Structure 1
Amino acid sequence: MTLVTLIISLVLLTGCNKFLNIKTYTQNNYFLNKYIIQNKIYHWNNLIKAAAHQYNIDEKLIKAIIYAESSGNPYAKSHSNAIGLMQIKPSSAGAEIYRINGKKGQPSVQSLYNPKININIGTAYISLLQKKNYWV
């Protein structure tokens, strides 16, 4: 009796449900389309366009990052203290862009809540990563 129980337990624990004729159905419903994304971030179109032109980055990439990181909320803050639309960490991406631009220190948390500053630093950082070949 215990041997049979052990075998059945092992089959169930290893996920071999094909032996038991159990079918699992998973369905993911994603209700995202380009219109939902555009409506969420339309407030920032002019800032995105200017930053994309300045740093030669595709606008769609910037919009995708903004939507993925903050859903267009300029006051978003992560548990790791990434701030704003593009979720910039002052001590890493912010400090790196400041250093490249000849500034000392790092951007303040308050300044990263400003969409213009946040998009500018985020796009500059994307450009930096592309130049370093971190992204292809």
Structure 2
Amino acid sequence: MLIISLIFLTGYNNFIHVEKKLKINYFLNKNIIEKKIHNWKSFIKTSSYKYNVDDKLIKSVIYAESSGNPYAKSNSNAIGLMQIKPSSAGVEIYRLNGKKGQPSIQELYNPKINIDIGTAYISLLQKKNFLVSKTKI
């Protein structure tokens, strides 16, 4: 309550102005992304064609989620290049492909399988209209 009172006493507009000054913009160099994901280009191309998902979107997801590290694992147990959670995206894509269960951890560490499942999931989201549009990156 004291903090809120201090904000109003010093002027709310001044507080907001300080917050805006802390905003940082990041710009990614295309060459940096390409170097990080170079080893996975053939898998990206195959999945892009198979699921009709823009390859630039796939590359961006890989870079953002794992920086191209196929052994990446998050605190929430998202695994691999595209940070797939076996119990959510993995289950949905397995079900879509007529399989029961979920992908194993070993499967999700495999770049080819991870990219395939991740791209299939992006395609599924696009078809369900969770993504506003196929964004041009």
Q: TM-score range by the shorter chain?
A: 0.7 to 0.9
2:124 corresponds in structure 1 to 128
Give the TM-score, by structure 2 length: 0.81
2:28 aligned partner? 32
Could you say if the C-alpha distance between residues 84 and 25 of structure 1 is closer, same or farther in structure 2, counting changes exceeding 3 Å?
same
Bigger radius of gyration among the two: 1
Picking from 88, 92, 95, the partner of 1:92 is 88
Match of 1:115 among 111, 118, 122: 111
Q: Which runs of 4+ in 1 moved over 6 A?
A: none
Identity of aligned residues (%): 68
For residues 54 and 10 of structure 2, what CA distance do their matches in structure 1 show?
50
Q: Deviations over 1:36-82 (max 9, x none)?
A: 01011011000000000000110000000000000000000011100
TM superposition score normalised by structure 1: 0.82
Q: Which residue of 1 aligns with 2:63?
A: 67
Cα shift at 1:133: 1.0
What's the offset of the Cα at 1:30? 3.8
Cα drift, residue 16 of structure 1: 2.7
* C-alpha RMSD of matched pairs (Å): 2.5
Amino acid at match of 2:122: I
Structure 2: gaps (5+ residues): 133-137
Counterpart of 2:40 in structure 1 is 44
